[in-house]
Structure 1
Amino acid sequence: MERGHAVRDISFDLPQGKILCVIGESGSGKSVTANAVMGLLPPLMRVSSGEILFQGRDLLALDESSLRELRGRVVSMIFQDPLSALNPLMTVGDQVIEVMAAHNEGAPQSRKARAVELLTEVGLPDPALMLHQYPFRLSGGQRQRVMIAMALALEPDLLIADEPTTALDVTTQAQILELIQQIQRKKGMSVLFITHDFGVVAEIADQVIVMEKGLMVEQGDADSVLSAPQHPYTKRLIAAVPRLNKNNRAAGLDLCGYDEAPVLAVENLNKIYRSGGGWFRRAREVNAVQDASFNLWRGRTLGVVGESGSGKTSLGRLLIKLLDSDSGRILYRGQDVARMKEKDFRPLRPKIQMIFQDPFASLNPRSTIGHILTVGPIAQGMKSAAAKSKALGILEKVGLDAGVLGRYPHEFSGGQRQRVGIARALMFDPDVLVADEAVSALDVSIQAQTLKLLDDIQRETQVAMFFITHDLRVASQICDEILVMQKGRIVESGPPSQIFHAPQNAYTRELVAAIPGRDHVLQTA
């Protein structure tokens, strides 16, 4: 049933110098609340009643000119997706300087010096060089730091952070959270921090508000809400937070075990990215994957973890031949597919499928779900009626009904779109599933449902899964064995109990130490 309000009867206070976390699932009204404070609600949405008092003034009663003067100078915001929020045609330095220029702050030369100072403050390497870089050349964590620098350019009194760490790896996430805390304490700012992860709440919050379907269902100081939640919805959110398992994944799959040959055997795989270069310049080389070797077994999940840029996604794309390797072997049931030409590999492609990180970007917005699911099998020779019948069976398996066949991707929630992405991969009865950050952008409750779905599917079909993630808690839940990657190399491998509770490599220890809320009771399981 649709509701007639985005948010209703929301009341809270944010004391000076405190961090207030607003937590809830997608659609709970968190971002609408933040955008109302900033005066950034879309034209079709208006505030029907209430007031937002800031330093004695009702922000809802101010005209656009007065709001524009407040934004950036008094109230500033860090947006969830820095790549979308940053201008791709402007350098990082120009975008930081633009904030100051818009408010006539300082002279051109002093603005540039201030921009370097801000980039230094947020921990970006070589700030003077960084000024001249474009957003697409930066990592996700670096782009988020640029957004923070822009938000802090005029030293606002209130900082609003809308899911600033959702898609970041654990070490970058820990650095961003620490950075926000340091700046907040140093400048005495108030922070309104929006998140769906109670692990993040445990790290930084002084106070917490829990929202569900536009209503505020619980509020209090962070320790009280975390240790003794009162509302059933809060309890469900906390229960859905992935725990760092102490034990290995439960056995019970109907397997021949390691007696049989692996479905996929990777031997000394290498991939180098080359860019730039010319007559008088050497090409820039990045060793994306270096001497990777491992086996993937039927009915088992092999996880790969590491920071952004460690080579996880590159390795996954090599396995399904979206990228060509430079050297090494990928043996699929004894055949070396690494050296195969596309025309030779095409008959095998259905058996190695990928679940992409962003289901909205990977699903054709102009195609119905029925077409998305059946076009591949039909291209492989399946009859249309058989493909439709199979699609209906797969949809039931992933928890969607037959009515979705005629609908389009934009009509679904993020969790439902991810289920469609999983269904599309399963249409080919694959032997190998490569899941690339398949749950990273989902709410914790939807994430838990998706992980259970993948586990159920694997137990039923015995598919081998290569699971790429930056969330070590998720990896401990679903993986039988884990590879840890750093700068293209596998630096450690083993079962979750070893990787997370007795890591041998210093880099692995850093990753484990950076898990948000790791020392809180939430993380024990």
Structure 2
Amino acid sequence: MVGGQSASLSDTSVALSVRGLTVTLPDGMERSHAIEDVSFDLHRGQILCVIGESGSGKSVTASTVMGLLPRAIQATAGSITLEGREIIGMGREELRDLRGRVVSMIFQDPLSALNPLMTVGAQIDEAMAAHDEGTPQSRRQRAIELLTEVGLPDPALMYHQYPFRLSGGQRQRVMIAMALALEPTILIADEPTTALDVTTQAQILELIRDIQRRKGMSVMFITHDFGVVAEIADSVVVMEKGHVVERGSAAQVLNAPEHPYTKRLIAAVPHLRQDDRERAAHTDASGAPAKPLLKVRNLVKTYRSGSAFFRTQRIVPAVQDVSFDVLPGRTLGVVGESGSGKSSLGRLLIRLMEADSGQILFRDQDIAGLTEPAFRSLRPKIQMIFQDPFASLNPRNTIGRSLTVGPIAHGVPAAKAREDAKALLDLVGLDARAYGRYPHEFSGGQRQRVGIARALMFKPELLVADEAVSALDVSIQAQILELLDRIQRETGVAMIFITHDLRVASQICDEIAVMQKGRIVEFGRPSRIFFSPEADYTRELVSAIPGEQLDDKTAAAATGGRQSTQQTLQQGTQT
């Protein structure tokens, strides 16, 4: 059995063997164990994908292997054999010696994992110095070689850069370089591509696969996306609520899943829709076709940093001559790579920053040139759903206060605001008890529901959703998309949906604007944009979608899970 429990612990083909691993949670948690009786094998020279939703125990398993569990939780049963050495019960110094040299890890969020006060080169150097490897000169040379190996431009210059100056994809490449510094035999990658755009994601997946083949490493790849599994996995372990529910070869799990949970996960993976959404035509009071709610004309925004005097000035054209219309009750998808100008466009539309030139006509009133006091009365009509709901919610405020503080500031009576907040929590699938709880008490999907409820508190006419589902599990992502679609049908709100995931855009958008380097390079209906693209850039984006090249057999194998998925969509309070 591939990745199963039948392999012998003395089997030299096994680099990592986990047997009966149980990690106990503190009293008072929603369940007693983070993981329970988990067993699998990672074979030499192979890529094992561990897949499951948030809370399934994937990252806890990886942290246990690395010896990085927080003090509040601990492994209470089981065995982890790493290159023939038992690490459960191993001392701190011995574990520290194994990290980086035998097993290394790529973390999900490279910006949080990298030290903002240290240059890229210094951080790679530090990984080697901690193990007394080489001299300062040899470590510097090795760091530049690693930066070259992971495909970063101008490695000698990159060595002296700070993390905030790099893009998300570049920071992830730096993390890979750090993980490879001591040439470990086992690499653990914890959701390394979740928040990356499709082309950068494809590059990182290809990089990991290429390095793994060249160096003969064993890779434990943690993900919640079966599209990624289809791209790189040799074998698969599926986890649910701390238990392994299915294991096998990638082909076996993808094409003939046995467990209902696996079927639901595969069924929830979005695919490019070949048909466009059907929408009833909006009309005004006289029955005539509705006018555009939002008209953007020749919008321009350029970022400038540094000093022209010292010849260090950097000029970045973020939005260049962008024009489009949005009708009431319709969704415009804005897609493109990181740095294409998507988020800058969203911030301009809700006036979080000023445009250099151009018009933003909201109900035929140009809001681009309004002062903040003049725009204040219109701000409730244009609301935003942010990418990271945890960062956008005040951790010291209850959900109820976060929902009501804005409307109360705009003159809504406190009692009416509380009543509206509780009604909206019900609308987004959360029960009334959520009103008095704090953000940390909710899952990622639940916090995103709170973010949607907060945006709807003002009864807006336009919602700007900036990567609102990019970091969510595929099943929770499907629930949020279903929720947004239902809210739009019930309220008639217009949406601008900013995303790097073309599959998601095809599910929820009526029209698509493809942005590249600040410009709209293609505009049209999703079926035309994704299946008959005219721009080379659009074709590159579509070709980079992970797993989209799979034939219909894989989708058909998941048919049995679609009924369960629809039931899950109706039970948002449980997720």
Sort the TM-score into its range (normalised by shorter chain).
over 0.9
SS at match of 2:75: coil
Distance in 2 between the 1:261 and 1:55 partners? 67
Instruction: Give 1:269 deviation, angstroms.
Output: 0.1
Instruction: Give 1:323 deviation, angstroms.
Output: 0.9
**Pairing partner for 1:405 from 435, 442, 448:** 435
Answer with 451-460 or 64-73: which moved more: 64-73
Answer with 281-290 or 204-213: which moved more: 281-290
For residues 198-255 of structure 1, give each alpha carbon's deviation from its aligned partner in whole angstroms, at most 9, with x where no partner exists.
Answer: 0000000000000000000000000110011100000110111111111112334765
Establish whether residue 16 from structure 1 lines up as the match of residue 57 from structure 2. Answer: no
SS at match of 2:246: strand
**Pairing partner for 2:524 from 480, 489, 494:** 494
2:188 equivalent in structure 1: 160
- Can you give the 5+ residue segments of structure 1 that lack an aligned partner in the other structure? none
Contact 1:244 1:524 in 2 (8 A): no
Instruction: Give 1:468 deviation, angstroms.
Output: 0.3
Structure 1 runs (4+) deviating above 4 angstroms are: 252-258, 522-525
Contact 1:253 1:459 in 2 (8 A): no
1:338 equivalent in structure 2: 368
Distance in 2 between the 1:421 and 1:486 partners? 28
Answer with 319-328 or 271-280: which moved more: 271-280
SS at match of 1:273: strand
- Can you give the 5+ residue segments of structure 2 that lack an aligned partner in the other structure? 1-28, 557-575
Instruction: Give 1:344 deviation, angstroms.
Output: 0.5
Distance in 1 between the 2:344 and 2:77 partners? 50
Contact 2:384 2:455 in 1 (8 A): yes
2:30 equivalent in structure 1: 2
Distance in 2 between the 1:475 and 1:524 partners? 19
Instruction: Give 1:61 deviation, angstroms.
Output: 3.3
Instruction: Give 1:111 deviation, angstroms.
Output: 0.9
Counterpart residue identity of residue 225, structure 1: V
1:131 equivalent in structure 2: 159
Give the TM-score normalised by structure 1. Answer: 0.98
2:378 equivalent in structure 1: 348
1:423 equivalent in structure 2: 453
Instruction: Give 1:161 deviation, angstroms.
Output: 0.2
For residues 65-88 of structure 1, give each alpha carbon's deviation from its aligned partner in whole angstroms, at most 9, with x where no partner exists.
Answer: 111111001100000110111000
Alignment of 1:289-368 (within 5 A): 289-368=319-398
Higher relative contact order (CA 8 A, sep 6+): 1
Distance in 1 between the 2:46 and 2:407 partners? 55
1:217 equivalent in structure 2: 245
Alignment of 1:127-276 (within 5 A): 127-252=155-280, 259-276=289-306
Distance in 2 between the 1:233 and 1:455 partners? 25
For residues 129-155 of structure 1, give each alpha carbon's deviation from its aligned partner in whole angstroms, at most 9, with x where no partner exists.
Answer: 000000011111000000000000111
Distance in 2 between the 1:498 and 1:338 partners? 31
Instruction: Give 1:283 deviation, angstroms.
Output: 2.4
Establish whether residue 438 from structure 1 lines up as the match of residue 468 from structure 2. Answer: yes
The structure-2 alpha-carbon separation of the partners of 1:142 and 1:282, relative to structure 1 and needing over 3 Å to count, comes to: closer
1:87 equivalent in structure 2: 115
For residues 330-364 of structure 1, give each alpha carbon's deviation from its aligned partner in whole angstroms, at most 9, with x where no partner exists.
Answer: 00001000011101000000000000000000001
SS at match of 1:7: strand
The structure-2 alpha-carbon separation of the partners of 1:255 and 1:150, relative to structure 1 and needing over 3 Å to count, comes to: farther
Alignment of 1:42-61 (within 5 A): 42-61=70-89
2:415 equivalent in structure 1: 385
Distance in 2 between the 1:279 and 1:261 partners? 48
SS at match of 1:440: coil
Distance in 1 between the 2:189 and 2:181 partners? 15
2:318 equivalent in structure 1: 288
Contact 2:282 2:289 in 1 (8 A): no
Number of residues of Structure 1 aligned to a counterpart in Structure 2: 525
Answer with 243-252 or 454-463: which moved more: 243-252
Distance in 1 between the 2:63 and 2:298 partners? 50
Contact 1:369 1:407 in 2 (8 A): yes
SS at match of 2:378: helix
**Pairing partner for 2:478 from 431, 448, 466:** 448
Establish whether residue 459 from structure 1 lines up as the match of residue 472 from structure 2. Answer: no
Contact 1:273 1:288 in 2 (8 A): yes
**Pairing partner for 1:473 from 499, 503, 511:** 503
Counterpart residue identity of residue 149, structure 1: A
Q: Percent identity?
A: 72
Contact 1:258 1:297 in 2 (8 A): no
Answer with 55-64 or 449-458: which moved more: 55-64
Distance in 1 between the 2:134 and 2:86 partners? 29
Answer with 2-11 or 279-288: which moved more: 279-288
Counterpart residue identity of residue 41, structure 2: D
Distance in 1 between the 2:37 and 2:431 partners? 35
Distance in 2 between the 1:241 and 1:255 partners? 35
Distance in 2 between the 1:310 and 1:357 partners? 17
Contact 1:318 1:325 in 2 (8 A): yes
Give the TM-score normalised by structure 2. Answer: 0.90
Distance in 2 between the 1:61 and 1:371 partners? 46
The structure-2 alpha-carbon separation of the partners of 1:458 and 1:258, relative to structure 1 and needing over 3 Å to count, comes to: farther
For residues 95-120 of structure 1, give each alpha carbon's deviation from its aligned partner in whole angstroms, at most 9, with x where no partner exists.
Answer: 01111111111111111111111001
